[in-house]
Amino acid sequence: MSYLPIKQLLKAATGVDSPVGSTATVKGWVRTKRESKNAVFIALNDGSTIQNIQAVAEAGQLPEVTLKLITTGSCLSITGQIVESQGSGQAIEIKIAEVVIYGTADPEKYPLQPKRHSLEFLREIAHLRPRTNTFSAILRIRHALAFAIHKYFNDHGFFYLNTPIITASDAEGAGEMFRVTTLDAIKPPLTEDGKVDYSQDFFGRETNLTVSGQLEGELGAMALGKIYTFGPTFRAENSNTTRHLAEFWMIEPEMAFYELEDNMNLAEDFVKTVIRYAIQHCADDLAFLDNRLKEEDKTKKKEEQSELGLLEKLQFVINNEFVRLTYTEAIEILISSKPAKKGQFQFEVKWGIDLQSEHERYLVEKHFKKPVILTNYPRAIKAFYMKQDHEPATSPRGEVFGPTVRAMDVLFPGIGEIIGGSQREEDLDKLVARMQEVGIEPEAIWWYLDTRRFGTAPHAGFGLGFERLVLFVTGMGNIRDVIPFPRAPKTAEF
Ligand code: ATP
Ligand code: MN
């Protein structure tokens, strides 16, 4: 089994213990095979890095039958001497002494050939697309970001809490839910009034897949101080957008004794730190994606081209402070903006609206040209658990608007909302009153309210959609391209 990952081999090539002269075995999948008069060149990739190793055989060295089976996509084990490369583009190569073919890939049938495939086509072969440079780069970056997230929280004294995936509470109201049931689909048991009798279901009640681990996360924070969740999250929202998945991964830190300001500071430091980690640890993959984006930009109209390259954009985010302003201030800016005056927004701007992505993008991409944190949203458009502000919002002209809550949304260029969070209402009476106003039965989440009954404390937290972060860091345009097997309306093949 002993073999050297290509990443390790290529890294050593430039170091003091250069492998040149030694014999090594490499294993991987053929990217390309090229034959010249004197030699055969095989570019082999094992997924450890975006770089291939070039394997070289002399013309006539390999039997014709063997050579024929070495095609793009086939899997090989190659043993040979590591030598300095004669060609440009790589420092070392391997001189083939022995080849073992593990698996062939009939070129008539193997869908990945060495040419540019569209992302739409690659989505149809999601089981094979990790073998492309683009997707292997994305998946390595995704891994690095996941690792950086755990590292960040561990370094900062947070505990990783696993909240349930199957839940009985639909109180969060974050989105439509997927039901979990073992009842007969055709003839479920019914109650006397003709409804499905969930008391006969597996859990003895109606259950769903979680839309957020926050409520349980709060229970953790009220015992461990600082916790975070990082798990699968499900929303049956029938929105076919480039920013929504039906199954995605969410990171939800929750901190006792944090107020809104602390929450914002944490969110900003956290995203910057994990992006910095990716820049430091995924240099090759990011350079590849940066270049890919530049090539793609060349095919676009001038006004649609990005102002910054991918790497420049990432540097820009980690080197600049996020702009912080209230929802009310943002509304003022939007009302007096050019697109509002020219009637170019599809949705009218006025205090109280839920900001649409066109508004968020104007603020981030046109007005501030920086990531933005918006706070103190109207109470009516946010979840019941957010801490209520004392005073209603007022305009600079003294107009009095409605009540607000200590919410915060972090908006990113090209992405829109990447983080949604808030300080939580820790006062039992206010919380219960608000639940009754919006029609949530307090008894249904008696356990959640117990945190306010026993040893309540100020606390805050937020949710970061992992795929939206990966989308931003990789510069991809569609969220379905940053998760190995996307789940979206009518999409669950693999
Ligand atoms: P949006 O308005 O973009 O649908 P949301 O307000 O529903 O987002 P929250 O309920 O606050 O989002 O969830 C927290 C975070 O989870 C969001 O900031 C986003 O990064 C991510 N997120 C939410 N819904 C999805 C989804 N369907 N697919 C991928 N990520 C999502
Ligand atoms: Mn949503």
pLDDT band at 265 (very low <50, low <70, confident <90, very high): very high
Residue of 144, 164, 163 lying closest to 152 (CA atoms): 144
The response to whether residue 417 sits with its C-beta less than 6 Å from ligand 1 reads: yes
Residues 267-277: tens digit of each pLDDT: 999 999 999 99
For ligand 1, atom 30, which residue shows the shortest CA distance?
A: 465
Closest ligand 1 atom, residue 418 Cα: 20
The response to whether residue 465 sits with its C-beta less than 6 Å from ligand 1 reads: yes
Q: Cβ neighbours of residue 404 under 8 Å, at least 6 residues apart?
A: 326, 327, 328, 376, 377, 378, 379, 388, 389, 392, 393
Half-sphere exposure of 299 (CA within 13 A, CB side): 4
Mean pLDDT value across residues 468-478: 97
Residues 171-199: tens digit of each pLDDT: 566 568 999 999 999 999 999 999 999 99
For ligand 1, atom 2, which residue shows the shortest CA distance?
A: 417
Residues 358-379: tens digit of each pLDDT: 999 999 999 999 999 999 999 9
Report CA(378)–ligand 2 centroid distance (Å). 17
Res 16: pLDDT: 79
Report CA(368)–ligand 2 centroid distance (Å). 24
Beta partners for 209? 166
The response to whether residue 213 sits with its C-beta less than 6 Å from ligand 1 reads: no
412 and 472 in contact (C-beta within 8 Å)? yes
Res 261: pLDDT: 98
Res 172: pLDDT: 62
Res 302: pLDDT: 86
Closest ligand 1 atom, residue 462 Cα: 14
Report CA(403)–ligand 1 centroid distance (Å). 24
**d(Cα 393, Cα 488) in Å, to the nearest integer?**
38
Ligand lying closest to the C-alpha of residue 416: 1
Report CA(466)–ligand 1 centroid distance (Å). 10
pLDDT band at 15 (very low <50, low <70, confident <90, very high): confident
The response to whether residue 419 sits with its C-beta less than 6 Å from ligand 1 reads: yes
Report CA(211)–ligand 1 centroid distance (Å). 10
340 three-class SS:
helix
pLDDT band at 31 (very low <50, low <70, confident <90, very high): very high
C-alpha separations of 468 from 214, 245, 263, 413, 472 in Å: 18, 10, 19, 11, 6
Report CA(479)–ligand 2 centroid distance (Å). 14
Res 174: pLDDT: 58
For ligand 1, atom 29, which residue shows the shortest CA distance?
A: 244
For ligand 1, atom 12, which residue shows the shortest CA distance?
A: 420
Closest ligand 1 atom, residue 416 Cα: 3
Res 13: pLDDT: 82
Question: Starting from the edge strand earliest in sequence, which strands make up the sheet with 166-167, in order?
Answer: 166-167, 207-209, 179-180
- Which of the pair, 14 or 385, is modelled with greater confidence? 385
Pocket test for ligand 1, best of 243, 467, 469 (most atoms within 8 A of CB): 243
Pocket test for ligand 1, best of 468, 469, 478 (most atoms within 8 A of CB): 468
Mean pLDDT value across residues 279-283: 98
Token pair recorded at residue 290: 């940066």
Residue of 249, 250, 223, 254 lying closest to 153 (CA atoms): 254
The response to whether residue 248 sits with its C-beta less than 6 Å from ligand 1 reads: yes
pLDDT above 70 as % of the chain: 99
Which residue blocks in 126-282 are alpha helix, DSSP H? Answer: 133-155, 214-224, 260-281
Report CA(465)–ligand 1 centroid distance (Å). 6
**Which residue type sits at 419?**
I
| pLDDT averaged over every residue in the chain | 95
Closest ligand 1 atom, residue 246 Cα: 27
Ligand lying closest to the C-alpha of residue 174: 1
Beta partners for 405? 377, 388
The response to whether residue 250 sits with its C-beta less than 6 Å from ligand 1 reads: yes
pLDDT tops 70 at residue 401: yes
Residues 54-79: tens digit of each pLDDT: 999 999 999 999 999 999 999 999 99
Ligand lying closest to the C-alpha of residue 213: 1
Res 175: pLDDT: 67
The response to whether residue 235 sits with its C-beta less than 6 Å from ligand 1 reads: yes
pLDDT band at 90 (very low <50, low <70, confident <90, very high): confident
Residues 103-159: tens digit of each pLDDT: 999 999 999 998 889 999 999 999 999 999 999 999 999 999 999 999 999 999 999
Token pair recorded at residue 174: 């974050």
Res 109: pLDDT: 97
* Of the listed ranges 15-29, 97-111, 154-168, 422-436, the one predicted with least confidence: 15-29
pLDDT tops 60 at residue 1: no
pLDDT tops 70 at residue 170: no
